[in-house]
Structure formats: structure tokens, C-alpha cells
Structure 1
Amino acid sequence: MNRRELMKSTAVLMGGAAFFSTFTPSSLLAQETPSKGGTLVWGHSETVQNLDMHQTGTASTSRVLQNVHCSLITVDKDFNLVPMLAESFEEGGDGLSYTFKLKPGVKFHNGKTMTSADVKYSFERVKNPATGAVNFEVFNDVSAIETPDDLTVVIKMAKVNAPFLSRIAENGAGVIMPEGSGDVQGKTPIGAGPFKFVAYEPGVRVELERFDEYFDGPAYLDKVIAREITEPTVRLTGLRTGELHMINDIPADRIEEIKGDAKLQTVTWFPLNWDFVNLNHDFEPFKNQKVRLAIDYIIDKEMLLQGALWGLGRTTASPSYPTSASYNSALANRPQDIEKAKALLAEAGYGPGDLKLVFKATTNYPYHIEAAQIMVEWFKMAGVELSIEQLTWADWLSQVWVNKDFQISMMNFFTLWEPDFLYYSLWHSTGAFNYRHINDPAIDELVSKARVTVDPAARADIYKEAQQRIFDEVHDVILWFRNGTIGAQPAVGGLDTIVHPNGSNLNFHKVWLKA
């Protein structure tokens, strides 16, 4: 069935989807003893950018560097905070201090043994505005970082910051680097993870090799080579021919075919990420809530999901992680209503043909291009002229993310299970990911209030209120959660360990190749 036929068909519309984030292979491997050795070649669906883990804001880069770096603490499959580089951690009774006892003998890839000085250096580096760290605001309330001995770190807070521990459980803010290594991290990242960085050829490949002194035991693989292949068909061909051992993001229209192939393995999970249409609030028409609301009514979210993603996901009006207590299940996507959209545009002073928009979409996500192409006709029905400008990933990041030079765009976000990371970063007026010029005092007040609200239930209610505000004001148009997929050769073992609980990062520590 081609896409046009698919979109005409109502029979294919997806029913309710179950939430899960676990390994679901098409064919279960028998229990085998993992083999040591070999180089796994991974067809990575995206291109890596800045290799400095403190500075990078892209999931594509984090997915690789997850294997190079570690944080003090991390999360288990249920998002409980657990030690990683720390041996233990505790919060002071007043919520104004955190004490970490470090694991002794942890080695960095440069041979240095980790001490409290490295933790202090790393956190102060993120906090320092000169670093350009994406997650700088995580440390806004930190007043002091003390190191009473080599294995103890005490963080003092100027005020209560309820999500602080959760925020440093993500590598972006919590990664620990060797003291003084900041200047080289962008080109030769040095961490304490299971794999050492070897080489990077921009747009082509990243090479990692096993770090035998990894504190949690050496990996099985000798090397991992991430080949950057954004074209889905090329990626799939490489898997079929054996040129690649595994790929992520199986082409949406080929997943059932690959699942039915006894010569290949598949891993699927939900969700991988969530997608939304971005409206630049600095662009005159989008300063008007009626215009933003009209855009929302133009889009048929369910049909777009079928047309661009072949139904491999689930529509949502909330970006909160679907199993999170903060997920506002009372919200529902607005239905497509072209006549209502036209009326709203008319009220805002835009008659048929008056509003001309440029949709900047990145080829890094082919389904974003397809989604934009589908939307062109709907916008035309509403009297809006929509043209598409296709950008490489680097150009999209430069124009849309950094320079905020766009009118309408589309993006997906990963690893935002922690609601402060999600709502403060994306919708607070000073948030690191607020590239849409959103400046809503009500949102600022809500997410700031959540930071000082210790009771989890009360905090979740605040985030639900923030979601309602985002929905009512149409700060963005939230579309769907997307499924994650991996295809692999039969020789690849340990696939049940590869997907990080956040649904985005891939861990190769326990992955292996049959001899």
C-alpha cells in the first residue's frame, strides 16, 4: 500500500497502544555464553555533532557518547535513582545539601583515577556560562561544591531544587570528566565509560574501543563503529547484505517485513521520542494565539502519524513521559477542523492567501520531510501557502536551534523523562532548549514553583497545569510518541540490554558478537 492509499484508508488507523520500553525481539535467542571480541558495525540513523558531552544538545551525539561517559548516579528501568560512579548518595534533611561517596579506583580513559576534584571540576564547568553547557541551569541553585576528601563530594544549595538529583542522573548535566580536560572534550572525549573514543570522521563514522579498566567490568566487544547513515533504505540494505551488524530506526514501511525475516532480529519499544511542530513566537503572525490555534486545527495528527510514520507510534497532546506521574491524560489532540482554522485566521486578519509560511525541516529525519509534504495540502485547504525548505542536520541546528531563524519547523526530543528537564528546558523563557522565543510568565512561574515543591504528587500536579497552559496557548503543536526500532544480524547477542531506560540512548557494554 502506498502512502496515498494509506492516508485514504480508515481501516488502518491505530487502536490503543500499550506503553512499554523493553526488549521485544521477533525471535528469542537461546541462552548462550557471551563471546569476547569482535567489532560491531552499527548503522546510526543520525549524524554526530559536538563531541563535548557538556555542550551537545543532540540525542544523536548522546547516543554514542553514552558509551564513553558516566554520571555519578543513573536510573534503573523504573526510573529509580541508583548509584553509578558514586558508591552512595544522600540528601540532607533540609533539601539544601547532597553528599556523594565515590567508588574508589574508578579510572578515566587517560589513566587518571577519579577523585572528588574531578566531580567538582565537571559540575563547575557545566555551571560556568563560558562553557556553553546546554544544561547549565541545573546548577543555578548550587552555592558551593565541597571536597572534604578524595572520595567525598558535598553539594550545598542556595535553595531547595527538588529535581536536582534526577537532572544529574542524565549524562548531559551529570557526566564526570577528568579535571582540566574540558579543552579537548570537543574533539577527543575522555570519560570513564565502557568504551574509549578512538576517531571521528564527521558525517561518516565514530570509532570506539573497549576500555579494559571500566569500573563495572570490561565490555565484550573489542570495538564499536557507528557509521552515520541517515538514508533509511541505504541503512536497511547494509543490514541485509551483512555490511552492518545492526541499525536503529528501521524504515517505517519495512518494519513488518523485517520482523518476519527469520534471518534478522528486531527490537521494538515505545516510546523512543515525541515529536512536535514548532512555531517561532518572534514571527509576527505567531505572536497571535489565534493563528497558532489555527495551525493546530489544520493538522490531522492521527492521519499524519499514519502517513509519515506508518502508524508506528501514538498521538498525544502531552509531551510528558507516558508512564510519568506528571503525564496529563486529560488532554486530547484537537481534531482537524479546516473551517474553524479559516475562521480563526480571518479573526486574526489573515484572509485566503495572506499567510505564507516557510517550513524548515531536516533531512536528518526523513519522516519530518514526509510530514511537511503531507501538511502542505492541508494548509492550502485553509488558505495558507506552505513551502518546504529541506536542511541538513547541521544547517537545521545552525538556523533553527542556534540562530532561531525560522517560521515553522518540526523536531523530536528524546530522554526527557524528568519533567524539570522537559518543561524548564523547553518552555521556560530562559530554557536551554527554548529556541521558539516562548516567553510566558505563567509557564515560568509554574516550572519555577515545581523546582521548590518537594512533594511528588503536588509537583506532578504543577506540571499538569503547565501542560494545560502550553496546550491552551498552543505554544507548540504536540503530535505523537514514536516507537523505537533496531534491526540486527543473528550474530548480535545481548540486545535485551542495549536500550537505556530513557528510550533513546544505546548501551553496548553487554552487547556481544557470536564467535
Structure 2
Amino acid sequence: MKRRDFLKSTAAVIGGAGFLGTLHPATLTAQDAPKRGGTLIWGHSETTQNLDIHQTGTASTLRVLQNVHAPIVTVDQNLKVIPNLAEKYEQSDDGLTYTFRLRPGVKFHNGKTMTSADVKYSFERCKNPATGAVNFEVFNNVAAIETPDDLTVVVKMSKVNAPFLSRLAENGAGAIMPEGSGEAQANTPIGAGPFKFVRREFGHEVELQRFDDYWDGPAYLERVIAREVTEPTVRLTGLRTGELHMINDIPADRIEEIKSNSKLQVRTWFPLNWDFVNFNHEFEPFKDKRVRLAFDLLIDKEQLLQGALWGQGKLTATPSYPTSTSRNAALSNRPQDIQKAKALLAEAGYGPGKLKVVFKTTTNYPYHIEAAQIMVEWFREAGVQMTIEQLTWSDWLSQVWTNKDFQVSMMNFFTLWEPDFLYYSEWHSTGAFNYRKIKDPVLDELLEKARVTTDPAARDDIYKQVQQRIFDEVHDVILWFRNGSIGAQPSVGGIDTIVHPNGSNLNFHKVWLRA
């Protein structure tokens, strides 16, 4: 199929995409009784990094660790906070005290029974700056953690932190690990989840084994092997030949083809993640808002979506979840205007040939490479000399994320449905994910105000102001939401249970193999 014909054929599908997406069965028989045993080989689209769930900031690693750890609270399909390792919880009327009643008899993978001491240890470890936890700010307002008995934890706040419970439900802050196990977590994670860690061959695969003492009942699968296959075509070939039972991230240009294949299952949903172009705010040209705005105006977002992502997504000017009540729906992407961009660059002192930038992107996301290659031509039209530096995932994390050594980059974020997690982590001057060195006192004030605002409608309004500020100041260029996809062999049962409500994490607790 020619590319232009493919794009025409998929346009209607993308336009009508829903949050939960659809399951396209090949030989599914919903009446099949789950079977116990077997090893599922998962073609993981990304490489895992640090295995310490407190320290890791990559969705690729969290997809594995969500099967190893269990949080104190979680969310249902509507992203409402519900009990998990805590069988119930209460919040005081003044919002300053949280009491968790733990499930009795919960076992860790090392055989230890979970108590309130483990919860206190986990929370205090995440709060401790020496840990380097990405979710440290969740516990900023925690004044004391009390353990009146083995099954009761009382968290006392110095001031209100409205999103505290929802932050515990998402990506590691609420994960409970055995007391004293912190030093081992980076290489040998120990949790209370449905699978226990066996081994990791860095850059190749991770092996998990069923934990028979899991509090919510043992998994069906005996083992899961996450085989890291970052090259999309190789990943798809592995699925089609039967080498892999399942893959995530079906190549965007092959999704319609795979959907029509009666020998495979396909699960699609919207959205998986959102993508944006990043500026290093301490790189001299990008200290000037006019330059950032010019770069925004140089990008034809729709053409970029079609060219790099084959239309498998939808444009957005804000990263807030499509269904979020805090989403600023009034924002829309700026249209391309190369002449206006050239004028702004000239006004800022960067006439034709005066501005040279390096665009660092990672081979972990091949479509980012394609997007950068498309953008080079537009920037050239405006007299900007841009070169592309392709980095491995590890090198991108080291150079861009950790050392903040870059000028322009592109990244995507997953699972940030909770607005405090999304905006405080990304855009607050002290946020754990603020690798762009953004320092905006107006944003800081708004984000801190949101944390102590308990009225949901008022809090939503603050986040809408935050989105407007990010857009007006062009702190980053938000591009699109990307669709999610899973392909699987007919032998894989329970495929519709894999995707977490946040759209990113994958859980294999209820998955089985028919043969």
C-alpha cells in the first residue's frame, strides 16, 4: 500500500478513536477457561534501565516493575483511587491526616510478611533526598509517619497536599518494599506484586517468575520474559514468526495490515503517550521567548504527525488527558508560519545562518528520528542550521535527562494522567522531570497553590491556567497524543486485561497461554 493511500485509509479511524480503544480478535474465544503454566515471551519495545522503582523515571522500566511491585492504593478503570495493599483508608476532614489499614498476610517475594514498618520505610525512603527518588515531592508536606500497630499507618501532613492519594496510586510513589531492601532494589527488585524478579541481561531481556503467595491470587503464567526489541520491524517479524507471543508498539505503518491478519490479535487504545519538542532554557537563544515561539511556528504539526507517526495519533496543544476535567480545551496547536518565524528570529538577533543548534534524539523512539529529519527542512527554510545527533536510550538518559547537556530534543511521556504528577514534575522549577531547566515563578506559584486547593473545580481552574502559561511562554512545543497498540498470538488469553487504566503500564496477572 502506498503511504498516501495508507494515510487516507486510517484518517477516519484515528478521528474516532476512544480512550479505551478496541480489541481486534483473530481467533479469540472469550469462553476459554484460563490455563495455568507456560512462559510468555513479550517483545518489549524499549530497554529497561535502573530497576529501583523509586529512582527510575522511564515508562519502559515501569512496565516491568509494575508486575514486581504493588502499591498501597491504585486506580480503577475510571482513574478513581481505590485500595490495594491497604484494604481501606481514611482522610481527615481537615486534609492533614491519612490513615491506612493494611491487608493482613501480604507476602513479599523474600518471604517476609508486610507490616506497617515496611510502609513507613518505603515512604521515608522515597521522601529522603539521598534516595534520588523521582517522586520525592509527593512527600514534601509529610510531617510524620506513625505505626500504632502492625497493620495501621498514619501519615500526618504539615499542610494540605490535595493530590496525595492519587500520587500514591501512580508510578512508584506508593510502591511498598521490604524494610531495609533499598540497596538491592536497583539490581534485584523485591516487591509484593504478582511476579518476582529472576534476572536481567541488560539491553536484552528481563525474566519474571510467578509469585504463588501474591495476595490477590497467583498469576496463570509461570514466567514472563520481557525481550527488549527496540527495532519495530524486528519486533513485528518476531510476532509473525511465533518467536514472540506478544509485542507492544506495533509499527505505525503496519497497524492496519496486522488488524486484518486473522492469525493475530490486536489491542489498540488512545492515548498511549504524548510527545513534545524540548528547549534547554539555559542555552542562550532559548532564554528568549521569541526564539522559542519561532521554533514552534516552524513546525507543521499535522504534516509531522502524518509523516513521522503515520497518523497514529491526534494533535494536542496540552498534555492533559483528553478526559481530564482539568484539561484546557481552549488551546490549539499554532499553525506553521515560516515568514513570521523568520521575522521573530531576526528581531531576536538571529538572521539567516546566525543560529546553529544540535537536535539530540534517541533511537529508542524511531519515529522521533523521523520527526527530527522532517523538521530539519523547515528550520533550514528559516535560516536555522540544525544537525541531528542520534543517541542510544542510555546515552539520551545520561546526556539529556541527567546531565541536561542538550540544546533541542524530543521526548514522550506516559501515564501522567494525574495533573499534579504531570505539571509539578515537568514544569515546576524543582520538578523531578524538569530536565529543560525551566524556571518560571508564575508556574511555581500556580502549581504550589494547586496542591493546597481542595475544591476540585477550583483546582481544575488552576491547572487550566498552568496549561495556558506553558503555551503562552512556549516553554515546550506540545505536539500530539500517540495511539497505543499490542499484537499477540492467538494462544495468548486475557489480552484485554493487560493495559493499565493509565494507558501505559502493562500487567500480566490475568494473562494465560492456551497452549
Q: Which amino acid aligns with 2:493?
A: G
Offset of residue 26 of structure 1: 3.9
Offset of residue 145 of structure 1: 0.2
- Distance in 2 separating the partners of 1:29 and 1:484: 23
Q: Which residue of 2 aligns with 1:127?
A: 127
Q: Which residue of 2 aligns with 1:178?
A: 178
CA RMSD of aligned residues (A): 1.4
Give CA-to-partner distance per residue, 1:426-450, whole Å, 9 cap, x none: 0000000000010000000001000
Give CA-to-partner distance per residue, 1:357-393, whole Å, 9 cap, x none: 1100000000000000111111111111111000000
Q: Which residue of 2 aligns with 1:426?
A: 426
Q: Which residue of 2 aligns with 1:16?
A: 15
- Pair 1:6–1:390, CA change in 2 (3 A): farther
- Distance in 2 separating the partners of 1:498 and 1:52: 22
SS at match of 1:208: strand
Offset of residue 247 of structure 1: 0.3
Spell out the pairing of 1:80-99 with structure 2 (5 A cutoff). Answer: 80-99=80-99
- Distance in 1 separating the partners of 2:486 and 2:201: 23
- Pair 1:23–1:75, CA change in 2 (3 A): farther
Q: Which residue of 2 aligns with 1:151?
A: 151
- Distance in 2 separating the partners of 1:199 and 1:145: 34
- Distance in 2 separating the partners of 1:393 and 1:18: 30
The 8 Å contact of residues 81 and 169 in structure 2, kept in 1 or not, is answered as yes
Offset of residue 465 of structure 1: 0.3
The 8 Å contact of residues 277 and 409 in structure 1, kept in 2 or not, is answered as yes
The 8 Å contact of residues 162 and 453 in structure 1, kept in 2 or not, is answered as yes
Offset of residue 2 of structure 1: 5.6
Q: Which amino acid aligns with 2:422?
A: L
Give CA-to-partner distance per residue, 1:15-62, whole Å, 9 cap, x none: 734331255224453321001000000000000000000000000000
Q: Which residue of 1 aligns with 2:501?
A: 501
The 8 Å contact of residues 69 and 171 in structure 1, kept in 2 or not, is answered as no
> For structure 1, which runs of at least 5 residues remain unmatched after alignment?
none
Q: Which residue of 2 aligns with 1:436?
A: 436
TM-score, with structure 1 as normaliser: 0.98
- Distance in 2 separating the partners of 1:266 and 1:24: 6
- Distance in 2 separating the partners of 1:74 and 1:280: 34
Percent identity, aligned pairs only, is 77
Q: Which amino acid aligns with 2:244?
A: L
Offset of residue 472 of structure 1: 0.2
- Distance in 2 separating the partners of 1:60 and 1:351: 41
Q: Which amino acid aligns with 1:425?
A: S
Q: Which residue of 2 aligns with 1:246?
A: 246
Q: Which residue of 2 aligns with 1:279?
A: 279
Q: Which residue of 2 aligns with 1:483?
A: 483
Q: Which residue of 2 aligns with 1:357?
A: 357
The 8 Å contact of residues 19 and 322 in structure 1, kept in 2 or not, is answered as no
Offset of residue 193 of structure 1: 0.2
Q: Which residue of 1 aligns with 2:201?
A: 201
The 8 Å contact of residues 13 and 302 in structure 1, kept in 2 or not, is answered as no
Q: Which residue of 2 aligns with 1:401?
A: 401
- Pair 1:23–1:120, CA change in 2 (3 A): farther
Offset of residue 288 of structure 1: 0.3
Give CA-to-partner distance per residue, 1:390-442, whole Å, 9 cap, x none: 00000000000000000000000011000000000000000000000100000
Q: Which residue of 1 aligns with 2:65?
A: 65
Offset of residue 172 of structure 1: 1.6
Give CA-to-partner distance per residue, 1:215-236, whole Å, 9 cap, x none: 0000000000000000000000
The 8 Å contact of residues 492 and 511 in structure 2, kept in 1 or not, is answered as yes
- Distance in 1 separating the partners of 2:70 and 2:201: 23
Residue 225 of structure 1 pairs with residue 256 of structure 2: no
SS at match of 2:24: coil
- Pair 1:13–1:344, CA change in 2 (3 A): farther
Q: Which residue of 2 aligns with 1:32?
A: 32
- Distance in 2 separating the partners of 1:189 and 1:10: 46
The 8 Å contact of residues 23 and 496 in structure 1, kept in 2 or not, is answered as no
Q: Which amino acid aligns with 1:229?
A: V
- Distance in 2 separating the partners of 1:110 and 1:12: 49
Say which is worse superposed, 171-180 or 155-164, in terms of deviation: 171-180
Q: Which amino acid aligns with 2:310?
A: W
TM-score, with structure 2 as normaliser: 0.98
Residue 262 of structure 1 pairs with residue 262 of structure 2: yes
Residue 288 of structure 1 pairs with residue 291 of structure 2: no
Offset of residue 10 of structure 1: 8.2
SS at match of 1:224: strand
- Distance in 2 separating the partners of 1:24 and 1:325: 27
Spell out the pairing of 1:457-468 with structure 2 (5 A cutoff). Answer: 457-468=457-468
Q: Which residue of 2 aligns with 1:188?
A: 188
The 8 Å contact of residues 196 and 211 in structure 1, kept in 2 or not, is answered as yes
SS at match of 2:302: helix
The 8 Å contact of residues 109 and 196 in structure 2, kept in 1 or not, is answered as yes
Q: Which amino acid aligns with 2:143?
A: S
The 8 Å contact of residues 315 and 333 in structure 1, kept in 2 or not, is answered as yes
- Distance in 1 separating the partners of 2:256 and 2:354: 44
Q: Which amino acid aligns with 2:306?
A: Q
Residue 374 of structure 1 pairs with residue 413 of structure 2: no
- Distance in 2 separating the partners of 1:388 and 1:26: 40
Offset of residue 171 of structure 1: 3.4
Q: Which amino acid aligns with 1:24?
A: L
Q: Which amino acid aligns with 1:438?
A: I
Q: Which amino acid aligns with 2:358?
A: V
The 8 Å contact of residues 492 and 512 in structure 1, kept in 2 or not, is answered as yes
- Distance in 1 separating the partners of 2:168 and 2:222: 29
The 8 Å contact of residues 207 and 225 in structure 1, kept in 2 or not, is answered as yes
The 8 Å contact of residues 17 and 314 in structure 1, kept in 2 or not, is answered as no
Runs (4+) of structure 1 exceeding 4 A deviation are 9-15
